[in-house]
Each structure stands twice: as C-alpha cells, then as structure tokens.
Structure 1
Amino acid sequence: MVTGFGEETATGWHPLLNGTHELARAIADPVHDDPAWREHVASRLRGLRGAFDEHMQATEGPAGHYAALVDNAPRLASGVDGLVREHAAVLDRIRALQEHVDADRPRADEIRTWARLLVHQLFAHRQRGADLVLEAYQTDIGGSD
C-alpha cells in the first residue's frame, strides 16, 4: 500500500502550491508606484517560504517522503538526491528575492522577473518530484500481443 500517493499534503505540496500561485498573482497586480504592492509581494513571499520549509521537512531526512520513495524504488536514489539539491537552490532564490524586496532596492519589473523565475523553478521541481513518484509506484503489468 502506498500511503499518501496522490495526496499533495503527503509531500507538503498543497500549501506550497497555494503559496506559489499567491506569489504569481501578487506580482501580476498592477504597481502604479504603490508601496503597498511591494509589501503585498513580500507577504506572499514570506508565506511561500514557510510552505517551502514545510515541504522540505515532509520530504527530507530518514522519515521523509523521499526516504520512503527510495525504500520502494532504490533505483531512484540519484533522482531523489537531485530533488534535495534543488531544495537548496530554491531556498537560496527565495532568500535572495526576500532580501531585495525587503530592502526596497530593485524596481518592480526586476522583482517580477526574479519572482517569475522562482515560480517556474518551483513548478519544474514539483513536476520532477511527481515524475519520480509515478516511476516509483507505477506497476508494469505488461500485456499480451
């Protein structure tokens, strides 16, 4: 039996997916030199950071979802290692963007560009993780010709 397969919450993705969408909506809002826009983006980014931390806790370590994945399909260990390395890269991007937004340094268009890259990175990470889960638990029942 596969516990949590297909459930976004099993890997912490449901809050992270929501947070990713919220950031994408926040950067899509018109700016019109409104300082509230930057605070809105910063708030969504903080929420995303919390959701990403939860995702890392749910997936990494000996009791995490990734360990269960490798237990079920040891051939996927290198793919799982890649996902863990991506966690560090995503976290670095979130931190850097948060620092820039909080410091009021870059213009809104720069923030949007960096945030779009983060959103893309998160969706790509999610897809790679989903592909590994599918590969681990997919049963080849074969067929006859």
Structure 2
Amino acid sequence: MPGSPLTGIGPFGSISTVASGSRAFTASTRVRDWDGRLRRVTARATTKAKAVAALKAELATRDQSGAVGETVTSDMSFTALAQLWLEDMKIDPRLSDGTKAVYESELRTLVVPTFEHFALREISTARVERFLTAQSIKSYARAKHCKVILNF
C-alpha cells in the first residue's frame, strides 16, 4: 500500500493553529528543508491571523542554501561543486595541510577530469562505481582517496 507522496523541498504542509495560553496562539506546520528532512516550524502571536503571518515570515527567512554562499542544484556542474568543496576543505581544521594538498591534487588530476562535463544530476551511482573500479585497478590508495573525495 503506497504512502502519501513525498513533500517537495521548500514547500510546507497545512498550517494549524491552537490556543496556547489565555491570549496567545501558536501556528505550526511541517516543512521539508534543503537537507531533505521534515521539520516542524512554529510561531506564536496574539491572534490566529498574526500567528499564521509570523509562521509564513519564519518560513520565508529559513536558510535555503546548500553550500555557503551558493545554492547547490542538480543542474550545477561537477566542476563548480568541486570548487566549492575545495574552498570548504581548505578551512576544515580536522585535516592536516598534507592531507589537504593530496586531496586537492587528486581531485584536480583524477576526479574532475572524469566528471567535468557532467551536471550533478547526470552523475549516477553506476558511473561513480565504474570510475572507482578503474582507479582500484591502477592503485588501491588512489581509489580510496577518490572515494573519500567523492563522499565528502
């Protein structure tokens, strides 16, 4: 028996309001955030209409970016995503400078040339598996680094 259809990213469900105290109302709804998770969002005000308006204002100002400074979409090129990843990796305190240099080098020489002409929606699991299999034939370490880079 099929369930209800998946809520799209960004849209919210029906808004419900309940009295929450002597002169307050709480409006709430569920919204599917940009990370794919459903979350309950609430707002309080003195009237039902003001609570609904406050909730809609809250929904309009929620963070909608997939990456710092730029929204990641399925139509984005792999090269653009790789550049965003490099910028994020360079400021990651968990990685040593040597590890960052290795990942950057292997991203630029191995991974990007393979996927540079694809949009993100075109990069399938099968395509990635073929790439990793080809890398593992050449070198286990190379394949492992490529997998880590693609998983980041």
Length-normalised TM-score, structure 1: 0.31
Greater RCO, 1 or 2 (C-alpha within 8 Å, sep 6+): 1
More helix, by proportion = 1
**Whose radius of gyration is greater, 1 or 2?**
2
More strand, by proportion = 2
Length-normalised TM-score, structure 2: 0.30
